[in-house]
Structure 1
Amino acid sequence: MSTIINVIYVIILVCVAWQDYKTRIIRNKFHIIIFSLAIVQMLLISEYRITDRLIGMLAVSVPMLLLTLLIPRAFGGGDIKLMAASGFFLGMRLILCAMILAIIAGSVYGIIMLKNRKRDRKDQFAFGPFLAIGLSIAAFWGNEIVSWYLKIQH
């Protein structure tokens, strides 16, 4: 059941990534669908407690919001809401893993674009596709990634 729910989640993320890439807007319907899917997941699979989901909902989205208040347009509102809904879906550990993976993916893209002179340092790009990459990887392999990381830290 967990795999089926994760596949549905990734299909939604593919739609989010495509829409954000094309329009730089992530529609609220996607956030609502992800949040609803998280509730279904919580009722069917009791892997994460509600407290972990609530912390996950805030762990990345609040820092993103604060950063955007300090640096306007650092993140779009859709990115912030996507991470809040996904934090409720994934829980605290996996949303942190997803954000790190998204930052790595976005950084690699940015470096390649700068190196090939396709973008300037001040240019903005849709971050939703990179969030979708990080979230998708975390949904399927996040626990293994976090366990590996914690193992190499000891």
Structure 2
Amino acid sequence: MAEARVVSADDPGKGGLQMMLAAGPARIVADQPLEAGGLDLGPTPHELVSAGLAACATQTLRLYANLKGWPLGHVHVAVAHRKDEAQSPPDAFEVTVRLQGPLSPEQTERLLQIADHCPVHRMLAAGARVTTAVG
């Protein structure tokens, strides 16, 4: 098993919903929209999960196309998260992939299949164990 890279969130305790996230060398502000009591200074936690799915699908597509030597140009992956309590599970992610480059229809179809096999997609589809402890 690979060693886990730790991502952290810090709340400075000043009363807002803005959190400073540390992920590797990057620092990102997470927040909530104005209507949810935040200042809308950064993505929400659900948007960060969606961003992880979009990034993973995009990287997976690039790696696969490079491995195959396919002429994949620009890749755009958009993810929308919706919650419907009447459904099971209530959370749904809709992934839209836009590919550019002189790809054959067969290559395009295969890349769309590959997008569904990125590790984050597989993790979300399978579920995950989460444990919480005081540290």
TM-score for the superposition, normalised by structure 2: 0.34
User: Which structure has the greater CA radius of gyration?
Assistant: 2
Greater strand percent: which structure? 2
Greater helix percent: which structure? 1
TM-score for the superposition, normalised by structure 1: 0.30
Q: Bigger relative contact order, structure 1 or 2, given CA contacts below 8 A and separation 6+? A: 1
